[in-house]
Structure formats: C-alpha cells, structure tokens
Amino acid sequence: MLQTQTFEYKSVEPLIATMPPGYKFKDVQPSFFDSLLHANDVPIGGVIHLGANWGQEVWMYTVLGFRRALMVEPVPEVFARLTEASSAMSSYARAQHEMIGAGARPPIEFHCVQCAVADRSGTSPFFRTAMSMVSSLSRPVIRTEDGRYDYEEIEVQIRTLDDLMRTLPDGWSAEDFTYLRMNIQNSELLALKGGADVLRQVRGIFLEVNVRPRYENQPEKEEFDRLLGEFGFDCTFGMARGNVGNLFYRRR
C-alpha cells in the first residue's frame, strides 16, 4: 500500500458531492488545477503531459492560459485522436485570439509526440488495454468485470524526458516548461529517472500513483519522495479515488 502513517490522501468524493447537478469532476478540473498550481506557486508557462491519451486536457490547458503544451502518447490509434484534438484546439485558440484582438492572451501551441517515456530510449513491450487510458509499460495484475484491464502486448518506441527536450520544435526550449503532469500507469518513476534536466527546470509535478495493486512492480511513494527530494521537491498534496491516487510535488 502506498499510504503511510505520515501521509494522507484526500478523498475526491466530498468535492464531487458539492458539484452542481449534472457536473462531473472533469467539468471543474480547470478551477481545481488553477487553485492547485496557484497554491504551490507554479507559474503558468508550458506543460509537459505524459500519457495525454486522446487529449482530454487540451481544453483545460487552454483555459488556464498555458502558452505551450507537449503532449505525449504511445498508443497509435489514441495518438491519432490526440493530434486531432490538439490541432482543433490550436485552431480555436488562434481564432479566439484574432476575434478578441489587442490585449488578448497569446493562443496556446501544442506539440504531440508518439512514444512512451521511461529511463532509456529504444523500444519496449507495452500492454495495450481494452480501456486505453490504463495501458502501460507494466503488466496489469488487476481484473475487473468490465474488462478494462484486459490487454494485448505490442511494441512501442520509448524515449527519455530529456531526449524529448532535445527534439522540440523550432522556437521551443526546455525553459518554456514550468509544469510536468504524468498519467502513465506505473511508469512515472521510470520517466523521472530519465528526466534530470527537466527536473531542474519545472516548478511543479502532478503524478499518478497506485493506491492499490494494479500493475507489476509498483513503486512506493517513498521512492518518489527520495528521487524528487534530490532535485528540491517536496510532496505537498495527495488525493485518491478508488484504486488511483495522485501526488503533487512543489519545488522548495
């Protein structure tokens, strides 16, 4: 179990219970993350999102005012949807900027990369699940009635975080990014181990953890604390819902 005597994951359920009828947590995410980033002094600059799936957060990043977003997703058919969503949101943001005119916030730019992220570059087996958002470099050990964790094994390209920073589009740089978000189903620790340069740059990190067993070789919270502590980060917030938890790390 990830939860320890010295750390408590806040439940999302009381927050969800207060939302207006018909709303889901995804509908209020921009407000939630705006408050979380503000509380932890994370500037709204650029965001790196590992495990971006089909682009559920492109609207949130646009609303929050991020200038640039690097969106990373390994599953081919899901990546196709991500590029479509990112392109459409870029077009909307530019049209909005032109419509409002002088003084309007600069439109967000997206860059999508098809790969998984780990502590090395190359290729790796990957477990593509029936529900794409729980696909992982790690083999699932959980089974559910709806079959969401049923998987087939494919091979995907893997890259390190620092390698991604070396292949950004013209005009982009590692210094653009203030915030790292990871939703890569048990690969978060591997990604961090391959991202020393990124960890020296970003100001806040929001990552997913497993509160209950879902994958082989799950890391403990203490492993994140030790690694990120070496780069000047402290865990300031955690929340959980069902099998899944999230941790926020803030630069001291």
**What is the per-residue pLDDT across 148-172, written as a single tens digit (0 to 9) for each?**
999 999 999 999 999 999 999 999 9
User: pLDDT band for position 7 (50/70/90)?
Assistant: confident
Residue 4 banded pLDDT, cuts 50, 70, 90: very low
Model pLDDT, residue 165 = 96
Q: What CATH number is given to the structural domain containing 95? A: 3.40.50.150
Kindly state whether residue 155 falls inside one of the protein's structural domains: no
Poorest-pLDDT segment among 49-53, 151-155, 207-211? 207-211
Kindly state whether residue 54 falls inside one of the protein's structural domains: yes
Torsion region of 102: left, alpha or beta (phi above 0 gives left; psi -120 to 50 gives alpha): beta
Alpha-carbon gap, residue 132 to 60, rounded angstroms: 20
- Average pLDDT for residues 7-30, to the nearest whole number? 90
CB 245 within 8 A of CB 238: yes
With respect to residue 55, please indicate whether it lies within any of the assigned structural domains: yes
28 within domain boundaries: yes
Give me the mean pLDDT over the 197-213 stretch. 95
Q: How far are the Cα atoms of 83, 158, 162, 165, 224 from residue 174, in angstroms, in the given order?
A: 21, 19, 9, 6, 22
* pTM (predicted TM-score): 0.95
pLDDT above 80 for 2 = no
Is residue 180 in some structural domain? Answer: yes
Mean pLDDT to the nearest integer, 13-20: 91
Range of the domain at 184: 10-113+162-202+214-251
Q: Residue 6 has what pLDDT? A: 61
Burial of 34 from C-beta contacts in 10 A (0-12 / 13-18 / 19+) = middle
Q: Determine the pLDDT at residue 211.
A: 86
- What does the alpha-carbon distance between residue 191 and residue 117 come to, in Å, rounded to a whole number? 5
**Phi–psi pair at 26, nearest 5 degrees:** -60, -25
Confidence of residue 242 (pLDDT cuts 50, 70, 90): confident
Q: In the prediction, which pLDDT does 1 show?
A: 38
Provide the β-strand partners of residue 245. Answer: 209, 240
Task: Kindly indicate the confidence band of residue 25, based on its pLDDT and cuts at 50, 70 and 90.
Answer: confident
140 in any annotated domain: no
Say if residues 7 and 211 touch (Cβ distance below 8 Å): no
Structural domains counted in the chain: 1
What's the rounded mean pLDDT across residues 222-241? Answer: 96
Q: What is the mean pLDDT of residues 198-222?
A: 94
The answer to whether the CB of 207 falls within 8 A of the CB of 249 is yes
Give residues with Cβ within 8 angstroms of 172, minimum separation 6.
68, 111
- How far apart are alpha carbons 129 and 75 in whole angstroms? 10
Residue 117 structure tokens: 């992220």
- pLDDT of residue 94 exceeding 60, the answer is yes
Task: Examine residue 5 and state whether it is found in any structural domain, yes or no.
Answer: no
